[in-house]
Amino acid sequence: MAARKPPLHKYWVILSTRTQEDMAYRANYVFGAIFRFLPLVTMIFLWYAVYAGRGMAPIHGMTFKDMIVYNILMYIARGFSSVPGTMSDISKDIKDGLLNRYLIKPMDYFGYQVMYRLAHKLVFWYIAFLTFPFVFWIMSVTGHYFTHWPTLWEWLSFIVSLVVAFCIGIQFCFVIGTLAFWFLEISTFLFVVMMLEFFMSGQLIPLNILPRALHQVLFLSPFGYEGYWPCMILMGKVPQDHLGPVLGRGFLWVGVFYGVVQVMWRAGLKRYSAVGG
């Protein structure tokens, strides 16, 4: 009699299989990781022009070098929180009836999406660890941009914040994708949502240089954990005694999103017509 597999084994199989598939195209990841930094060159010149016009005076405590480091670290933060294609894939599964193939299997669809996207992240960061250090070394040697060496507590907090970033990113995408249960076409809505998320996560500009009333609201939103907070933690811009509360709010948002995911999924299945597939 064959030994019974543990309940979570199927998710490990999804993660393992998807990782092996992505590794077959690792050259794409290498070039993607390298060329990902090319826009940074333009960003450096842009911010240099801004700061030069101010006599290189800091902007809300952010020096020119701080701004460059922030944009470099944002590539790491968004590498964890960004899960491209998730919203559109989920909405397509729902609209085209492709969800049927998952509903008849003994697995949770949300769990499947998490493992599927996590596999992509594992391969991406396997390649990134081979390419990113060289870019950081170049930035350190040529411009001495990295002026703050994080403490052990900041390193640990940064790692935890990246986990929070991934959890919020995947859950937010799942929630938006399940809107296809109620709306036939949401492609335009997806574009608007992604642009707002891009801004509110701090990927465009740091949240702390926005007007005070706006950045105070965005500080409390979940989107800052997808980019802004991990960068600021590693840069030493978050006081040591504030790291705990900041991460605590992040985990609170993870819990809130998980509850919303469950509610949206169960309510959506009641409306699902299972056409196609």
User: Tens of pLDDT along 171-218?
Assistant: 999 999 999 898 877 778 888 888 888 899 998 889 999 888 888 888
Helix (H) or strand (E) run with residue 30 in it: helix 26-35
Report, as an integer, the average pLDDT of 23-35: 64
CA-based nearest residue to 234, from 47, 56, 21, 77: 77
Q: Which tens digit of pLDDT belongs to each residue from 56-82?
A: 999 888 999 899 889 888 888 888 888
- E-strand spans in the chain? none
Q: 276 pLDDT exceeds 60?
A: no
pLDDT value of position 265: 93
Taking only the tens place, the pLDDT of each residue in 130-178 is: 766 776 777 666 667 777 888 999 999 999 999 999 999 999 999 999 9
The amino acid present at 171, given as its one-letter code, is Q
pLDDT tens string 231-240: 999 999 999 8
d(CA 87, CA 101): 18
What b/e sequence results for 40-60 when a residue is b if at least 16 CB atoms lie within 10 Å of its CB, and e otherwise?
eeebbeebeeebeeeeeeebe
Residue 31 has pLDDT above 60, yes or no: yes
Nearest residue to 202 (alpha-carbon basis) of 222, 187, 184, 182: 222
What is the pTM for the complete model shown?
0.85
pLDDT tens-digit map of 100-123: 888 888 888 998 888 888 887 787
pLDDT at residue 30 in the model? 63
